[in-house]
């Protein structure tokens, strides 16, 4: 089938081969960004395979264009369906957006609690929704192509899909740094941070998958085939990140960066100043709260409350306009300054929803 017929192909390739269930994301022109149909297809397959004795492990990867075009093979998953979310915020009061979040978060939770080994191959761009379907996996494989980020603060969102859980549990305030800056980690840095369990050259992935399909235990295959990751560049800044991002108050972090004349601090300060002040504050509270929650389901319920409200704030539609639609990279945030985003405004975003509107796991 030609690329012109791509609309007729499934957005997720779902199949059982040997002893493995395979979920291959298949929207190459969108770097496999998740749609609601993709979320539901993956959820349905996982529910079917949960009691299927043929399926001993689940492998999640991205399909590679049959023509071998590297421009269509450059990422695992670039995120979620931002166009749907923005359209919903502007035209249906956020109803479709909330439906997407509700089902997507159920998929995230299902993966997190899945009783069989799940292996995510994070080869290439792994952002937003891609983090949401890879980090719950028991085994997370990075390569030299991996570029992982949670860049949501740049479009007026926050690191959802479980980001509060994962980022808040990274060492040395790295999670706060990633949430506010949207910085990208390469494969070696993902291993160093604990966001990847194994590092393999991309060329070795077909062999690793073939061995798992043949029935070998995924843990054993990856332990044998993994290679030492290169030096993690970000490690050189670990002490600075722990010091500069020590506070859960955005104003304190900005003040610490302003007082530090190092190139790293000044570059980081300039980056944060381009982000939505509201969602930067939301992110800091999200991570601080997540550390107090009893389980992942509670984290996802919190993130759904946040998502349902942040979706309808002016910063989201404006951020998508500036970064994705017009690409002028000049969003006009409202409020524009951190000190005009009040504690009450943030508290309202985190408040419980009406009982019948709350999120729940499958």
Which of the residues are catalytic? 80, 129, 152, 160
Q: Which two tokens stand for residue 121?
A: 């191959």
How far, in Å, CA of 38 to CA of 27, rounded? Answer: 10
142: enclosing H helix or E strand: strand 139-142
What DSSP character marks residue 9? S
23 SS3 class: strand
How far, in Å, CA of 1 to CA of 129, rounded? Answer: 28
Strand bridging mode 12-17 / 20-25: antiparallel
How far, in Å, CA of 28 to CA of 52, rounded? Answer: 30
- 271 by Cβ neighbours in 10 Å (0-12 / 13-18 / 19+) ranks as middle
Q: What is the CA radius of gyration of the chain?
A: 20
What DSSP character marks residue 94? T
Contact by Cβ (8 Å): 115, 50: yes
Buried residues in 98-120 as b, exposed as e (16+ CB within 10 A) = bebbbebbbbbbbbbebebbbbb
Plot region of 137 (φ>0 → left; ψ -120 to 50 → alpha; else → beta): beta
């Amino acid at each position: 089938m030609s690329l012109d017929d791509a609309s007729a192909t499934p957005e997720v390739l779902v199949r059982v081969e040997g002893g493995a269930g395979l979920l291959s994301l298949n929207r190459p022109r969108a770097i496999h960004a998740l749609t609601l149909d993709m979320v539901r297809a993956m959820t349905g397959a996982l529910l079917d395979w949960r009691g299927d004795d043929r399926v001993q492990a689940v492998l999640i990867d991205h399909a590679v264009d049959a023509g071998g075009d590297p421009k269509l093979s450059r990422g695992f998953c670039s995120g979620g369906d931002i166009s749907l979310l923005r359209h919903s915020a502007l035209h249906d009061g956020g109803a479709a957006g909330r439906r997407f979040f509700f089902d997507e978060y159920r998929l995230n939770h299902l993966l997190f609690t899945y009783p069989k080994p799940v292996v995510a191959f994070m080869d290439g761009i792994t952002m937003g929704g891609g983090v949401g379907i890879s980090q719950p996996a028991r085994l997370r494989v990075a390569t030299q192509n991996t570029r992982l980020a949670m860049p949501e603060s740049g479009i007026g969102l926050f690191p959802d899909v479980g980001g509060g859980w994962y980022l808040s549990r990274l060492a040395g305030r790295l999670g706060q740094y990633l949430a506010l800056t949207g910085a990208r980690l390469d494969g070696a840095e993902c291993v160093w941070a604990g966001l990847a369990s194994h590092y393999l050259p991309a060329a070795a992935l077909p062999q690793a998958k073939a061995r798992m399909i043949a029935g070998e235990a995924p843990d054993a295959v990856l332990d044998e085939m993994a290679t030492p990751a290169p030096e993690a560049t970000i490690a050189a800044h670990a002490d600075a990140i722990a010091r500069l991002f020590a506070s859960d108050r955005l104003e304190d972090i900005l003040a610490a960066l302003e007082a530090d004349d190092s190139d790293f601090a000044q570059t980081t300060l300039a980056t944060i100043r381009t982000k939505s002040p509201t969602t930067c504050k939301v992110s800091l509270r999200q991570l601080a709260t997540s550390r107090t929650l009893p389980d992942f389901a509670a984290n996802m319920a919190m993130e759904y409350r946040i998502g349902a409200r942040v979706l309808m704030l002016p910063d989201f539609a404006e951020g998508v306009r500036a970064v994705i639609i017009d690409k002028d990279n000049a969003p006009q945030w409202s409020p524009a300054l951190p000190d005009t985003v009040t504690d009450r405004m943030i508290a309202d975003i985190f408040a419980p929803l009406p009982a019948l509107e709350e999120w729940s796991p499958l």
